[in-house]
Structure 1
Amino acid sequence: MKKSVTIDLWETIIGEKDYSSFSVSRREKKCKYIYDYLRKIDNNTSLDRVINSHDFVVNQIAKFSRFHSDRLFIDWTKIFINKINPKLINQMQEKEIIHFGDILDEAFLEDPPDIFDGTYELLEFCKLRNIRLGIISNTGFNSPKAYRKFMSKNKIFYDVMSLSNELETAKPHSKMFWNTINNLETIPKNSIHFGDNPVADILGATNIGMDAVLISKNNKKSPINSNHLAVIDTIKDAIDILLDWI
């Protein structure tokens, strides 16, 4: 059976240049776009209200993630709208709610994360060796559609992508990893996962029998046990690991 590689997204192959987990400009753009849209239908909406509601949803997503859970993106969008104005959600049709999510996507795609050095080299390495590639990611407040557009636009090619706000569960839950492994038509012992989170990525992968490599980001992250295969600084070092692993 052929071997497969799976990778995390945020802070593994994409993110902010300084490795921070938060983009001020992206948050501001999302909230400004939503505010501009709502002003056309609700004159009582304030920008502060939109910002506070956005931050509430982001914090709720983080809380869900700690319990290995998530909701569908459209459900988080409804919670966002309801937090801004409880009366508004009852006045909106489903297509309007979807459009609301599209506005968030537009802001994300206009102010996207950086793609880290070494990402394309890893993708090319896997492609040349017919190694199937899976992406496993907890999503935050971004839609699956936005992720796929971002990946396509930036030529980040993959065979399978498992996103927490599609599966309504989050790493390190085994469902995230098994969904990817099964769709890659492989088995855990023939698969290796790269990620920056010692629990969500490394524990999640090793718990189902995968090999796992921690991205330490200048030694800012440390493994929680000895079950990992290796610790590397950035994704640029992944090929060295794979040359030995395959």
Structure 2
Amino acid sequence: MIKAVIFDLFGTLVDADNLFKPITYELSIETNIDFDEIEGTMYNLYEKVFDGHHEKEFKPERYYYRILFNKLKVLYGLTENSDYYVDLMYETFGRLKKYDDADIIEKLRDQKYKIGIITNADIYFVKKVLQKNDIYYDDLIISEDSKVYKPHKKIFESSLDNLEVNKDEAIFIGDNVEADYYGAKNFGMKALLIDRSDKYKLENVEKITNLKQIEDHLR
């Protein structure tokens, strides 16, 4: 019987579709360079800098974002140090809004399910987002605290220990196929992939397009 529902945060409970738009806007003003060009460069650098980072010795996301902004400094002549831009970007992350269907948490809470959140993010802005959006949780696991990233089994194990449930008593929901879905499945948990735009055409993957559909998988 399922006793705990555990969520990824960004892209699952909180809308991260336009993650880099606010910082891109600031950089475009500073450099007088086209917004679309900078945004495209940001996403390309993100993919390269963060590629395989969860398989390496743990370093917080800030470490990788410093590398990203140092590369942008070279490309676009940014005038401040990399930490200045990381802090500026993290401030915008803290203003991200939750999805409407994230309110399912309140219903699950009323039904006495324990609520957990696991996120591959830095402490700096995670708690700001949760507080701003009034997102309830019984346990919060942040990669910066755990010193590992999903899909490492330790991060899922810590959540179950804190919630005092077994693997077969919890379900994990996330938007990333490898880190979230297969991370939880390979650990031995039940898992759901949240795919709001129905972009993934994968066999043998349990998928939902709205968080309210979670209830169909708790029986």
Q: TM-score range by the shorter chain?
A: 0.7 to 0.9
**CA–CA separation in structure 2 for the residues paired with 1:179 and 1:30:** 38
Residue type at the aligned position of 2:155: M
Instruction: Say if 1:231 and 1:2 are closer, same or farther in 2 by CA, change over 3 A.
Output: closer
- The answer as to 2:108 corresponding to 1:129 is no
Larger Rg: 1
Ranges in structure 1 where 5+ consecutive residues have no aligned partner: 36-45, 86-91
Could you say what the CA RMSD is over the residues aligned between the two structures, in angstroms?
3.4
**TM-score relative to the length of structure 1:** 0.68
Ranges in structure 2 where 5+ consecutive residues have no aligned partner: 75-80
| 1:22 Cα deviation after fit | 4.4
- The answer as to 2:117 corresponding to 1:119 is no
Runs (4 or more) in structure 1 with deviation over 6 Å come to none
- The answer as to 2:130 corresponding to 1:151 is yes
**Which position in structure 2 is the counterpart of 1:205?**
184
**Which position in structure 2 is the counterpart of 1:10?**
10
Task: Tell me if the contact between 2:181 and 2:193 (Cα under 8 Å) persists in the aligned partners.
Answer: yes
- The answer as to 2:51 corresponding to 1:63 is yes
**TM-score relative to the length of structure 2:** 0.75
**CA–CA separation in structure 1 for the residues paired with 2:56 and 2:211:** 25
**Which position in structure 1 is the counterpart of 2:77?**
none
Give me the identity figure in percent.
26
Partner SS for 1:15? coil
Out of 194, 197, 207, the position equivalent to 1:231 is 207
| 1:206 Cα deviation after fit | 1.5
**Which position in structure 2 is the counterpart of 1:217?**
196
Instruction: Say if 1:205 and 1:68 are closer, same or farther in 2 by CA, change over 3 A.
Output: farther
Partner SS for 1:207? helix
**CA–CA separation in structure 2 for the residues paired with 1:69 and 1:217:** 32
Task: Tell me if the contact between 1:30 and 1:107 (Cα under 8 Å) persists in the aligned partners.
Answer: no
Out of 171, 177, 195, the position equivalent to 1:192 is 171
Instruction: Say if 1:223 and 1:66 are closer, same or farther in 2 by CA, change over 3 A.
Output: farther
Partner SS for 1:63? coil
**CA–CA separation in structure 2 for the residues paired with 1:160 and 1:32:** 39
**CA–CA separation in structure 2 for the residues paired with 1:61 and 1:183:** 32
**CA–CA separation in structure 2 for the residues paired with 1:61 and 1:165:** 18
Per-residue CA deviation, residues 9-57 of structure 1 (Å, 9 max, x unaligned), is 23222225xxxx4445223146469x5xxxxxxxxxx576xx6996676
Task: Tell me if the contact between 1:109 and 1:146 (Cα under 8 Å) persists in the aligned partners.
Answer: yes
- The answer as to 2:13 corresponding to 1:28 is no
Per-residue CA deviation, residues 83-113 of structure 1 (Å, 9 max, x unaligned), is 437xxxxxx8xxx95x664322223234x2x
Instruction: Say if 1:30 and 1:129 are closer, same or farther in 2 by CA, change over 3 A.
Output: farther
**Which position in structure 1 is the counterpart of 2:78?**
none
| 1:62 Cα deviation after fit | 3.0
